[in-house]
Amino acid sequence: MSEGASTSNDLIEEAKLALNTLTAPEAQEIAAIKSVGSPALRARAGEDIEAKKAQARLWLTSFTDLVSLMLCFFVLIFSTRDIDMKVVQKMKGPEYHAEATKGVEGGQSEEMNIARVEYGSGLDLDYLEGVLKNSVAQAKLQDDVTISQGRDHLRITIESGRVFDSGAALSASGKRIASGLADRLKLLSNHITVVASPGSSAEWESGMAQAVAFGEEMRDAGYRKPFTVLAEGSGRGDGIEIRVEADTGGVR
C-alpha cells in the first residue's frame, strides 16, 4: 500500500473517531449538512446552525439580567417599608435608648415656660418682657418687682424697702426676691447688670455695697453666668434695678 493511501486511511479513521465523540444533536446537524447538495448550501446551513448555537447560549446572560432586575426591585420594595424604631433602638444599644427617651419626654411637655426651657440665644425685649412677667407671676414676685422697658434693655426694679433691712444687709424678703429672680434669669443668655440707685451721689459707696450684696445672693441662689454690678446716683431713690440687655445673638 502506498504512502498516500495510508494517509487517507488515517484521515478516515480520525473522522470516524470524531463522529463517535459527537453528541446526538451535533451528529444530526452534521448529517443534515452532508445531505445538502452543493458546497455553498452546506456552508450556509453550517452558518445557520452556528448562529442558532450562539443564540441558545444567550439564555445565561438574559437570566443574569433578570435576576439582577428582580434583586433591585425587592431592594426598592424593602426601602419603602416603615422603619421599626424598636429594631433601631436595639441596634443603637440601651444608652442611646435612654438618651432618646429623655429627649422625647422633654419635648412632649404640655406647658413650656421660662422655668423649663434654657434658651440658647437672647430674646428680643417685647417677648422677653412677656416671658419674665409670666415667670415672675408664677414665682409670686409680681408684688415685689416692676418690669419695664428701657431704650435697649429691660428693667426689673425693686424698692429698697423690700430688699434691705439696714445698710447693705438683705432682709428675708430681699433674699427671697434675689433667689427667685436668679432662678428665672439663669435660664436666659441675655447679659444682666445689677444696679443700685442711691438717693444721692454721696451715698454711692453704700449703694455699691447693696448692689454687691444683692448680686452675691443671686450667685448663691444658682446664677452662675457673668454679670455686672454697679451703682448709679440717679436721684430716683434707693432701690435695686436689674438690667437685662437686648438680644445678644448667642450664649454668653
> With bands split at pLDDT 50, 70 and 90, how would you rate the model's confidence at 194?
very high
Answer whether residue 107 is part of any domain. Answer: no
Last residue of a domain, one of 15, 50, 78: 78
Give the structural domain span for 16. 3-78
d(CA 247, CA 123): 5
Answer whether residue 88 is part of any domain. Answer: no
Answer whether residue 186 is part of any domain. Answer: yes
Mean pLDDT of the residues in the chain? 71
Give the pLDDT confidence score for residue 220 in this predicted structure. Answer: 92
Query: Is it the case that residue 47 has pLDDT exceeding 50?
Result: yes
Judgement on whether residues 181 and 239 belong to the same structural domain of the protein: yes
d(CA 201, CA 199): 7
What is the residue-wise DSSP string for 230-246?
EE---SS-SEEEEEEES
Answer whether residue 27 is part of any domain. Answer: yes
Which three three-digit cell numbers place residue 220?
448663691
Q: What percent of the chain has pLDDT over 90?
A: 4
Answer whether residue 167 is part of any domain. Answer: yes
Query: Is it the case that residue 196 has pLDDT exceeding 60?
Result: yes
Judgement on whether residues 239 and 174 belong to the same structural domain of the protein: yes
Give the pLDDT confidence score for residue 106 in this predicted structure. Answer: 42
Query: Is it the case that residue 118 has pLDDT exceeding 60?
Result: no
Judgement on whether residues 148 and 69 belong to the same structural domain of the protein: no
> With bands split at pLDDT 50, 70 and 90, how would you rate the model's confidence at 216?
very high
Which has more confidence, 92 or 48?
48
Q: What percent of the chain has pLDDT over 70?
A: 53
Give the pLDDT confidence score for residue 219 in this predicted structure. Answer: 92
Answer whether residue 109 is part of any domain. Answer: no
Judgement on whether residues 130 and 193 belong to the same structural domain of the protein: yes
Q: Can you tell me the mean pLDDT for 127-146? A: 84
Three-state secondary structure call for residue 248: coil
Q: Is the dihedral of CA 197, 199, 201, 204 positive or negative?
A: negative
Answer whether residue 23 is part of any domain. Answer: yes
| CATH number of the domain to which 223 belongs | 3.30.1330.60
Last residue of a domain, one of 49, 78, 107: 78
What pLDDT, in 10s, does the model give residues 67-111? 888 888 888 887 777 666 566 666 655 554 454 444 444 444 444
Q: How many domains does the chain have?
A: 2
d(CA 198, CA 181): 21
Q: Tell the burial category of 210 from Cβ atoms under 10 Å away from its Cβ (0-12, 13-18, 19+).
A: buried
Last residue of a domain, one of 12, 43, 78: 78
Judgement on whether residues 72 and 131 belong to the same structural domain of the protein: no
Answer whether residue 96 is part of any domain. Answer: no
Give the pLDDT confidence score for residue 97 in this predicted structure. Answer: 47
